[in-house]
Structure 1
Amino acid sequence: MTGMQQLYPFLYAGGPGLDALMADVRRSTAEKAADIARLRESVLEEYGEALAVCAARMADAFRAGGRLFTFGNGGSSTDAQDVAALFLNPGDAGRPLPALALTTDVAVVTALSNDIGFEVVFARQLAAFGRPGDIALALSTSGNSDNLIAALREAARRGMLTVGLAGYTGGQMAEEPAFSDGRHHLFVVPSSSVHRIQEAQTTIYHALWELTQRELTQAELDREAR
């Protein structure tokens, strides 16, 4: 078969029919949907209490004037932007909260990468903007990105609350003292599939957002009741 025939076998005589191809697509889609549903359920079951604790601390930080900084590489950079947009502009679903994705300023990212090195692109921004009581949220599928580790260390040095989302077994993130001794929060999706990890991480940060909003609303109701 030529390259085109391998890509589109149903278009060529003697190749698998379109019906057979679509049956394979449907079966594969159903299997993937079932896999991610199981993974999401297991992650939420394992981390349900920890997510509530983390959200309560995030709510405390926002109430005290803290801001959320998110960051990641590749597909995780897009997820980091989604997290920031979710907190900053939730529409009618909640209150807007100060959040910024450190992946969006191309001039800053490329300047730091060119002049110093890619490993500092997030740490230097936190050094400039971060302050005690802010929140740093890092997203990674492997947990091994040097620039994320550097940023998390910078955030911890500055007295920020750090939150990590990783996959596989957590990588270097899981070995960071702030995470390993329980002072900060790490949520690991136990999968070796980048796609399944990112899908489950979406569930995690949406749960964090919803729980944070609930904590802020409940605090207001409690104040009004007193």
Structure 2
Amino acid sequence: MTREQSPVGADGLEALYPFLYSGESDLDAVLEQVRQSTVDKVREIVALRAEVLAADGKRLFACAQDVARAFAGGGRLLVFGNGGSSTDAQDLASLFLSPAAVDARPLPAFGLTNDIAVVTALSNDIGFDVVFARQIGAFGRAGDIAVGLSTSGNSANLVRAFDEAARLGMVTVGIAGYDGGKMAELDSIDHLFVVPSPSVHRIQEAQTTLYHALWELTLGALDDLAKGDQP
């Protein structure tokens, strides 16, 4: 995880896993604490997913309709993020491009951190702030889709990427955490989804659920379009 994702230091680890730092020598007691810690974390993510669904379910459906219309019109998906969010962005791109379900429709999708030569060249020669915006400027066109993921919502290179995507007339989707950060202040994001949690771990878990739901809803909307039903 990157520094912008608030890595956990020694004190933070002790708060997350107190049974590792308690000096407890009773194995049964330690295992019970591990079990309870796991149960608590599962409850947290289940509650958080339910909260996101209640807040954003209808907007996620509307977003999927816009994304489906873009794909139906020949659009392509460009996805980006930093650190752990980069991994999630690549997962999202592969989900659309090469879905595990054999009967699911593959769609054109690209992760903007996949070409490390391009990423390092732009970072070294110009600056890391433009690493996504330059690629969107080169590859993006009106009717394409740009999806950016961040836990903090404050990544400068995502802000510039969304501004460039909006300038080109792309459909823009932001997935953030905490309170949305700088992404929540942008006019260049058409659909913004914020996972309201102070925990990077829970944020990324809920974000994964969110973009998997977006993928499924998009496929459903594409089926409706193919049948002549306007979503």
> What is the TM-score when the length of structure 2 is the normalising length?
0.87
* 1:10-89 superposed matches below 5 A: 15-89=24-98
AA aligned to 2:214 is L
- What is aligned with 1:198? 204
| AA in 1 matched with 2:57 | G
1:221 to 198, 215, 227: 227
Alignment match, 2:144: 134
Count of aligned positions: 210
Match of 1:171 among 181, 192, 195: 181
TM-superposed deviation, 1:26: 0.5
TM-score of the aligned structures, taking structure 1 as reference length: 0.89
Q: Secondary structure at the match of 1:186?
A: strand
Q: Please identify runs of 4+ aligned residues in structure 1 that moved more than 6 A.
A: none
Q: Which runs of 5+ in 1 are unaligned?
A: 1-5
Superposition deviation, residue 17 in structure 1: 2.1
Structure 2 contact 77–145 (Cα < 8 Å) conserved: yes
Q: Give 1:16 deviation, angstroms.
A: 1.4
1:123 aligns with 2:129: no
Match of 1:144 among 139, 151, 154: 154
Partner secondary structure for residue 103 of structure 1: coil
**Corresponding residue for 1:207?**
213
Amino acid across the alignment from 1:32? K
Larger-Rg structure: 1
Q: Give the aligned partner of residue 3 of structure 1.
A: none
- Cα deviation for residue 15 of structure 1 reads 4.7
Unaligned runs of 5+ in 2: 1-13
Cα offset, 1:93, TM superposition? 4.8
RMSD: 1.8
